[in-house]
Chain A
């Protein structure tokens, strides 16, 4: 297969005050080369956990990770830490939700970008500086001589996120993970940042894993999308196909809860209840308690993931039996 990233049965457990928290319970996810892949779901469904697991950013002492994360065919989880560190920043990069907190407050943004070239490309100080300035130019932080010397606190939220993007793409990674990159930004800035991510992806042929809880963003940018619920991917498919004919009740309910401009007279629906963190290994489908289409079997047995169309998969007893 031509997949860049292939996550198989990824499980992540955290040590928490309440006990062991089962954050991910077997996630399957594939991202093709150059593809912008959306990962959508409610808060605390495990989207960010999955993102951090790809880069091995979890605290090793308090986290237990099982499964496989194949990047270009080799398992990141089985690699020695030194090898994983080499991938970080050069092959796989990440940008976070809160750029203000994610940039080092005491370091100029230019130096933070130049650091990448010094580290991954062994560039000389001068070359790193020039390349960093060029990168600032590229993400629209101009004039670059001024921006280079500025500190994060001197930039607006949107500019900080541009700096984060510049840093993340500086060494032309093959995969960019964007973990809710616009949640902390104003609506007008959001569009600019997403446009930047898309243009960079097109230009560099870079795959993007775009994590969000906003279906609107997914519909606009992503070729394919995966829907997560309570630590599992419940449905995956081409964005258009999945939006047109969702198969999993959670996806159906989620799409029904999006406000639409064209038929505003239609009543908005919401999903009753909220997902709760798992402190025991889950049995059956976690959406059971909130699902309007549940069957008896759903409570006892987790459904297998099956093809439900061309490149469209879902894990649901109801849709399998229909």
Chain B
């Protein structure tokens, strides 16, 4: 894991620094500056040093909580991130909660009522929203609920009401995908031998499904969910763009556009770290659910 993080740090830093664009131009926003100022900036941002030296400085800084200084804002990167991180995390957390609260019941209902009208209707719903890009749903929600019905604010951030539409838009895509996976996984479990035993024991259908099958069915759902978490962070980037929420996503995109490498590097590393942390949590969750995993761990 530490090796992976190190490899990722190398990959992120050197890929970004391979860029042919001139950092000074990003710092000065394209304005011409005197040779003295230019020299001062080069020294300030360590651009006179070799790439590997810069990498060491960057790495060393990260260990001390210093992520460098933004080219475009001329502010410390950690300050910029601190300002915005709660928006993005709040958005992701709310969306994930909505997604799980909806997708698992939907998946169970579809599986238990397999091939019924309700199952077919839910499947069509899932099929359409799996195929709908998050930003499209976000735009549609904004148009319908904010601009037309005026139920929620269309842009900005700060209150819970600001979060509702973006989080729902993000969740819908996940709901569709997880519901499909829950359904399939549940159908597989319902056909398993131990479910035959559960029936033979005389258990009520509800108990057989919710107590016996569900726990088994959740294992593949969790696997996919951990991969989806990565998609969630990207989903947040897209949704923040639509709703102009000024979160990490907005910052990342504007930094890429203006070649603000310290910010790009920092946000990328942060997102990878969050993603890895979530994967770790999922591994722990596996062990909680599945005694076979607990034993080998």
Contact = CB atoms under 8 A, between A and B. Distances in A.
Complex contact flag A–B (Cβ < 8 Å): yes
Interface of A: 52, 55, 57, 85-90, 93-94, 96, 98, 101-108, 115-116, 119-120, 151, 153-154, 164, 167
B193 A101 contact: yes
Of B192, B199, B290, most buried by chain A (CB within 10 Å of CB) is B199
A262 B218 CA distance: 56
B196 interface: yes
A167 B201 contact: yes
Contacts of B198: 104
Contacts of A55: 199-200
A98 B194 CA distance: 10
B64 interface: no
Nearest to B196: A57
Contacts of B199: 55, 57, 88
Given A101-B192, A104-B216, A105-B194, A88 B292 contact: no
Given A102-B194, A154-B295, 13 more contacts: A88-B199, A93-B200, A101-B193, A101-B194, A102-B193, A102-B197, A103-B194, A104-B212, A107-B215, A116-B201, A120-B202, A153-B291, A167-B197
A96 B196 CA distance: 9
Given A98-B193, A101-B193, A106 B200 contact: no
Interface in B181-224: 192-194, 196-204, 207, 212, 215-216
A119 B201 contact: yes
B33 interface: no
A89 B202 contact: yes
A87 B194 contact: no
Nearest to A81: B205
B202 A151 contact: no
B127 interface: no
Interface hub of A94, A104, A107, A116 (most chain B Cβ within 10 A): A104
Interface of B: 192-194, 196-204, 207, 212, 215-216, 289-292, 295
Contacts of A104: 194, 197-198, 212, 216
Nearest to B201: A89
A101 B189 CA distance: 11
Contacts of B215: 106-107
B113 to A, nearest CB: 11
B202 A119 contact: yes
Given A105-B216, A106-B291, A88 B193 contact: no
Contacts of B194: 101-105
B197 A115 contact: no
A96 B201 contact: no
B201 A88 contact: yes
A115 B203 CA distance: 9
A293 B198 CA distance: 45
5 shortest A-B CB distances, which residue pairs?
Answer: A88-B202, A89-B202, A101-B193, A89-B201, A151-B291
Contacts of B197: 94, 96, 102-104, 164, 167
A105 B202 contact: no
B25 to A, nearest CB: 59
A109 to B, nearest CB: 11
A103 B207 CA distance: 15
B202 A106 contact: no
Tell me which of B193, B197, B204 has the highest count of chain A C-beta atoms within 10 A of its own C-beta.
B197
A90 B202 contact: yes
A87 B202 contact: yes
A88 B289 CA distance: 28
A32 to B, nearest CB: 23
Contacts of B292: 105, 151, 153
16 contacts: A57-B196, A89-B203, A94-B197, A101-B194, A103-B194, A105-B216, A105-B291, A106-B289, A106-B291, A116-B201, A119-B203, A119-B207, A151-B291, A153-B295, A164-B197, A167-B201
B216 A86 contact: no
A207 to B, nearest CB: 16
A86 B202 contact: yes
B41 to A, nearest CB: 61
Contacts of B207: 119
A87 B215 CA distance: 26
A232 B203 CA distance: 31
A57 B201 contact: no
